[in-house]
Amino acid sequence: MTFTKVLIANRGEIAMRILRACRELGIKTVAVYSEPDRNAMHVRYAEEAYLLGPAPSNESYLRADKIIEIAKKSEAGAIHPGYGFLSENADFAQACEDEGITFIGPKPEAIAKMGDKGVARATVKAAGVPVVPGTETEEKLSDEDLLKLAPDVGFPLLIKATAGGGGKGMRQVNDLEEMPAALESARRESLAAFGDDNVYLEKMIIGARHIEIQVLGDNEGNIIHLGERECSIQRRHQKLVEESPSPFINEDEEFRQKMGAIAVQAAQAVDYVNAGTIEFLVDKDKNFYFLEMNTRLQVEHPVTEYVTGVDIVKEQIRIARGRQLGYTQKDVKMNGWAIECRINAEDPYNNFLPSTGIIQFSSLPTGPGVRVDTGVYLGFNISPYYDSLISKLIVWGETRGQAILRMRRALEEYRLVGVVTNIPFHQSLMEQHRFIAGNFDTKFVEERFSIEKAEEGKETNPEIAAILATLVAHQQTERAAHIIQRGKRDTSNWKWVGRWERMHR
Ligand code: MV4
């Protein structure tokens, strides 16, 4: 269990994040890399680095065998998988265990159970966690079974891949007639993506938000939650902006603790150890349903770190070393507001087409309440082989309004030449009244927001900055004076935005 050297089986900003935690803890580090990453930041930062192979992931960062061999050769006692790649691969976690290497993450059994969405649903439901009504079996269901069950589930419904997650192999079905074709294409997509064509049905929850709860568990069975993250700002299942708290939950501490306790129950159902995330769909009436559990460190973990003060990566290492959690539930307090913008190498004016190129100039935002997690630097070549995430810009403010103003300032300071980024998208979003008002669901970016329209509007609505500033000042006064009672504050605060929204409809 104890180790003094960690191999980081990842690249980019998350490899850097983990390396930095190790450095602060006095843990020695081993990096692995693919050919195009030979000069990457994580390779330079680690004390040792080993080549895995050519660019494609299945010849490099997915090579479980090589990674374990390098860990043994370099005498790394533990492997941190980061996110993506091998992070949710139960066989890899098992292989580490078999070789006497600590996998910094949950047990293989927990990864496997949560990886099968049918098993995950059944397991958490049995533990008292609300799941979306739908088919309720761990058995394989034939088309015939599904056609029979569909009317009971009710329309519209969603066909989901058992092996899926993140929307792959998912189909919306509005009536029975659409079922056969949708089943066929969902199965085909799932087979191609996961080598498994098993599917199940869920009633479709309309107009829901995506809110997730961060959990931490140690080897003694203690599990706590670190509050929620709002992740509804996404496009094609790619999250773009995350925040904590959620504007939908903000002042409702009772609801937060209720969701948190349920998330802990879901984690307990699989004897969860280390950091994980329970995803929920939350409707307007605050009904919430378990969607899936991510059994890994997530991209958006920094917003939780900012508001709770917990270093999640250090906690992961502490847990993996067999120590007790450094916090009990009552130690966890949420303070202020954090927002993360994912800075991607993609063109927001051209259907978010990925862009590539060499970073010719880079100047990062700094100053109070600003954190940038990045894995690239001047001269680095953004290649098409991996995801398009260049960096994460995270800000903290006392209130949501302060955080938005700070994000606007930080986005303005951010300079990157050589590759097209989605920074203009984030700038437009931070000025959008529905975003400012916290009035959005998972369909917002795809159906209600267009950067082109937002920018057209900008010329005619130059007062947005002034309105935001007024709003923030108004919030500060209210906070100081305690005029508005707890729980009511949020709605009242945003009446300014509502007024402005009506003016410009
Ligand atoms: C849903 C849903 C509505 N009703 N399930 C998308 C990816 C996968 N994690 C689950 N997803 C959804 N499942 C029911 N029963 C809507 C979505 C969904 C969604 C969920 C989270 C974040 C963004 C989303 C975008 C579209 C659809």
CA distances from 379 to 336, 357, 418 (A): 36, 9, 9
- Does ligand 1 lie within 6 Å of residue 166's CB atom? yes
**Strands (E) located in 168-256:** 171-173, 199-203, 209-217, 223-235, 238-244
Q: Is there an atom of ligand 1 within 6 Å of 442 CB?
A: yes
Residues 390 and 366: beta-carbon distance below 8 Å: no
- Ligand 1 atom closest to 231 (CA): 22
* Residue among 5, 3, 8 at smallest CA distance from 297: 8
Sheet with 157-161: strands ordered across: 171-173, 157-161, 199-203
Q: Supply the residue whose CA is at minimum distance from atom 24 of ligand 1.
A: 442
Of ligand 1's atoms, which has the minimum distance to the CA of residue 289?
15
3-class SS at 80? strand
Query: What is the spatial distance between Cα 232 and Cα 122, in angstroms, rounded to a whole number?
Result: 25
Active-site residue list: 296
Is residue 12 within 8 A of residue 386, CB to CB? The reply is yes
- d(CA 270, CA 331) in angstroms, rounded, equals 24
Each of the 505 residues of the chain gets a pLDDT tens digit; together they read 689 999 999 999 999 999 999 999 999 999 999 999 999 999 999 999 999 999 999 999 999 999 999 999 999 999 999 999 999 999 999 999 999 999 999 999 999 999 999 999 999 999 999 999 999 888 899 999 999 999 999 999 999 999 987 788 999 999 999 999 999 999 999 999 999 999 999 999 999 999 999 999 999 999 999 999 999 999 999 999 999 999 999 889 999 999 999 999 999 999 999 999 999 999 999 999 999 999 999 999 999 999 999 999 999 999 999 999 999 999 999 999 999 999 999 999 999 999 999 999 999 999 999 999 999 999 999 999 999 999 999 999 999 999 999 999 999 999 999 999 999 999 999 999 999 999 999 999 999 888 888 888 765 555 666 666 677 776 666 665 554 444 444 444 556 666 665 655 4
Give bridge partners of residue 281 from the DSSP assignment.
210, 289
Among 80, 72, 61, 60, which residue's Cα sits nearest to residue 6? 80
- What pTM does this model have? 0.93
The protein residue with its alpha carbon nearest to ligand 1, atom 22, reads: 210
**Check: CATH 3.40.640.10 for 5-104?**
no
pLDDT at residue 136, rounded to an integer? 85
Is the Cβ atom of 110 under 6 angstroms away from ligand 1?
Answer: no
Contact 437, 498 (CB under 8 A): yes
- Do 337 and 398 touch, CB atoms closer than 8 A? yes
Q: What is the Cα 47 distance to its own chain's centre?
A: 29
Cβ–ligand 1 contact at 157 (below 6 Å): no
Q: Which residue has the tokens 């880079």?
A: 362
Residue 287 near ligand 1, beta carbon < 6 Å? no
Answer yes or no: is the C-beta of 202 below 6 A from any ligand 1 atom: yes
Query: Which CATH homologous superfamily contains domain 133-203?
Result: ATP-grasp fold, A domain (3.30.1490.20)
Report the separation in Å between the CA atom of 170 and the middle of ligand 1, taken as the mean of its atom positions.
9
Please identify, by atom number, the ligand 1 atom nearest to the C-alpha of residue 234: 23
CA atoms within 13 A on the CB side of 138: 12
Q: What's the pLDDT score for residue 489?
A: 46
Q: Whose CA is nearest to atom 13 of ligand 1?
A: 291
In the reported structure, the alpha carbon of residue 167 is separated from the centroid of ligand 1 by a whole-number distance in angstroms of: 7
Torsion, CA 491, CA 493, CA 494, CA 499, rounded to 10: 110
Give pLDDT, residue 251: 84
Counting Cβ atoms within 10 Å, is residue 424 exposed (0-12), middle (13-18) or buried (19+)?
A: middle
Angle at 168 between CA 296 and CA 350, to 5 degrees: 100
In angstroms, the CA 220 to CA 488 distance is: 40
Instruction: Map out the domains of the chain as residue ranges.
Output: 5-104, 133-203, 209-454, 464-505
Residue 459 CB neighbour total at 10 angstroms = 7
Determine which residue's CA is closest to atom 12 belonging to ligand 1. Answer: 167
CA dihedral of residues 180, 186, 188, 194 (deg, nearest 10): -150
Q: How far apart are CA 376 and CA 432, in angstroms?
A: 29
- CB-ligand 1 contact for 332 (6 Å cutoff): no
* Beta bridge pairs of residue 373: 392
Give the rounded distance of the alpha carbon of 378 from its chain centre.
Answer: 27
DSSP per residue, 36-61: GGTT-HHHHHSSEEEEEESSSGGGTT
Report the pLDDT value the prediction gives residue 502, as an integer from 0 to 100.
60
pLDDT value, residue 217: 98
**Ligand 1 centroid distance, CA of 114 (Å):** 17
Return d(Cα 42, Cα 479) in angstroms, integer.
43
294 CA from centroid of ligand 1 (Å):
14
For residue 253, what are its two tokens?
């501490």
Check: CATH 3.30.470.20 for 209-454? yes
Atom 21, ligand 1: residue with shortest CA distance? 210
What 307-311 contacts at long range (C-beta under 8 Å, 24+ apart), as own/partner pairs, is 307/227, 307/244, 307/245, 307/334, 307/335, 307/336, 307/337, 307/338, 307/396, 308/226, 308/227, 308/332, 308/333, 308/334, 308/335, 309/335, 310/216, 310/226, 311/21
3-state secondary structure of 338: strand
Give me the residues paired with residue 233 across strands.
Answer: 241
Q: Are 420 and 403 in contact (CB under 8 A)?
A: no
For the Cβ of 56 lying below 6 angstroms from any atom of ligand 1, the answer is no
CA dist 47 and 30 (Å) reads 6
Q: Does the Cβ of 167 fall within 6 Å of ligand 1?
A: yes
> Please, is 83 exposed, middle or buried when counting C-beta atoms within 10 Å of its C-beta (0-12, 13-18, 19+)?
middle
Q: How far is the CA of 6 from the centre of ligand 1 (A)?
A: 35
| Ligand 1 atom with minimal separation from the 202 CA | 15
